[in-house]
Amino acid sequence: MRPSTLRSHALIVSITLLAVAAIFSLLRPEPQAAQLQLTGRTMGTSYSVKYRPGPDTPAPAALQTAVDALLAGINRTMSTYDPDSELSRFNRMRSTDWVPASASLLAVLNAALEIGAQSKGAFDITVGPLVNLWGFGPEFHPDRIPLEADIAAARARGGHDKLTLRDTPPAMRKHHSDVYLDLSGIAKGYGVDRVAELMAAHGIDNYMVEIGGEVRVRGLNAQDMPWRIAIEKPSPGERSVQTVLALSNIALATSGDYRNFFKIAGRRYSHTIDPATGWPVDNGLVSVTVLADTSMRADAWATAFQVLGPERGMTIAERLGLPVLFIIERNGQFEERVCCAFQQYRQQEIP
Ligand code: ADP
Ligand code: MG
């Protein structure tokens, strides 16, 4: 055999080996990226982010700093607990003129008004005075039921017709000097969406972001499976699982009166207020879980359905095609009702 043929044989063998190696590397599963977790506190609750880093993802400490700065900025914009936030300053303002609004505040206000209209006023960010009166705001906690006259006065300050928004230039305007807005029913969800965007911007395709029970997931978990999210059984004082969902590329919010409530003379009062009556909701609905494209929408709708109750809620959920799980308490038993595609997100039982 001539040397040149030998060389070409060697070449063919090494090319074949390379090809085989390439095929093997294609077949072999990628070594699994570790799943990392960031946790912290924001908006009076805790947050947690689980993620599988991509090749260009910054170190966890740097990512944590970015998440904390992002959430601090959102709080600084829309918290009613921070007296210097953009929202608190707007709330204190007596003027009924146009006021410049930041892009993030305007985005949340626009969504709030839209969901307010779609929910027929059940979701209403002008309930702030009622929330405070019932002791669920940044102010004191009363030890007795507010006077009807005070409830009526607080109700008179509400209504979405008392607020107008403008996109260019971005601005907001009260129509009564005593309008006071409360974004606590939607801001956590907005925070989740922004953290999710931050993850994606850092090359992270697989994550689960959660702030105080508002969740958004993308991609798959460390086991290459959809993220498993457990819905709690709505019993105060007990922690057990009602159902487990398997989710990817979607947001979820659960709202319930079984954790955040206070008692007067042995009765439970929910932190969700029915704007139509001025009273905390009491309609047998103990927990509602909503799936939506964004966490902001899921969050607001969970509060809206809590107000609407199971019957009116189901009618609206069906009309909008929203996947919802209602859990109703009847004679000490929990009864489930689901809307639309909700059922298909439940974790399949392994036989
Ligand atoms: P949940 O997780 O139970 O929905 P959220 O924290 O999302 O609770 O929302 C509850 C908060 O929303 C209340 O503490 C109050 O500040 C505000 N809120 C209460 N009632 C309404 C309502 N009808 N519309 C909008 N916001 C409300
Ligand atoms: Mg909410």
Report if residue 227 sits inside a domain.
no
Give me the residues near ligand 2 (ion), CB cutoff below 5 Å.
185, 299, 302-303
Q: Where are the alpha helices (DSSP H) in the chain?
A: 3-27, 60-78, 86-92, 103-118, 128-133, 148-156, 187-201, 295-320
DSSP 73-90: HHHHHH-SSSTTSHHHHH
pLDDT tens for 298-332 read: 999 999 999 999 999 999 999 999 999 999 998 88
79 CA to centre of ligand 1 in angstroms: 13
In a domain, 99, yes or no: yes
Residue linked to tokens 């009847």: 330
Q: What is the pLDDT of residues 124-158, one digit of tens each?
A: 999 999 999 998 888 767 778 999 999 999 999 99
In a domain, 107, yes or no: yes
User: What integer is the mean pLDDT of 22-43?
Assistant: 71
Q: Calculate the alpha carbon distances from 62 to 39, 71, 157, 339 in Å.
A: 13, 14, 44, 41
Q: Is residue 351 part of a domain?
A: no
Alpha-carbon distance 90 to 78, whole Å?
Answer: 10
Q: Which range (21-25, 214-218, 294-298, 312-316) has the least confidence?
A: 21-25
Give a yes or no: residue 69 inside a domain.
no
- Give me the sheet containing 171-174, strands edge to edge: 99-100, 171-174, 163-166
Is 273 close to ligand 1, i.e. is its CB under 6 Å away?
yes
Cα-to-centroid distance, 185 and ligand 1 (Å): 4
Residue corresponding to tokens 């392994």: 350
CATH number at residue 128: 1.10.3980.10
Confirm if 63 and 70 have CB atoms less than 8 A apart.
Answer: no
End-to-end CA distance of the chain: 63
- What is the count of structural domains for the chain? 1
Structural domain that includes position 157: 94-174
Kindly state whether residue 146 falls inside one of the protein's structural domains.
Answer: yes
Number of Cβ atoms within 10 Å of the Cβ of 217: 26
Task: Tell me the three state secondary structure of residue 259.
Answer: coil
- Residues 190, 115: Cα–Cα separation, whole Å: 14
The answer to whether residue 157 is domain-embedded is: yes
Q: How much is the pLDDT for 21?
A: 47
CA 184 / ligand 1 centre spacing (Å): 6
Distance CA 125, CA 68 (A): 26
Whole-number Å distance between alpha carbons of 251 and 327: 19
In a domain, 242, yes or no: no
Q: Give dist(CA 287, CA 305) in Å, integer.
A: 9
Q: Whose CA is nearest to atom 19 of ligand 1?
A: 272
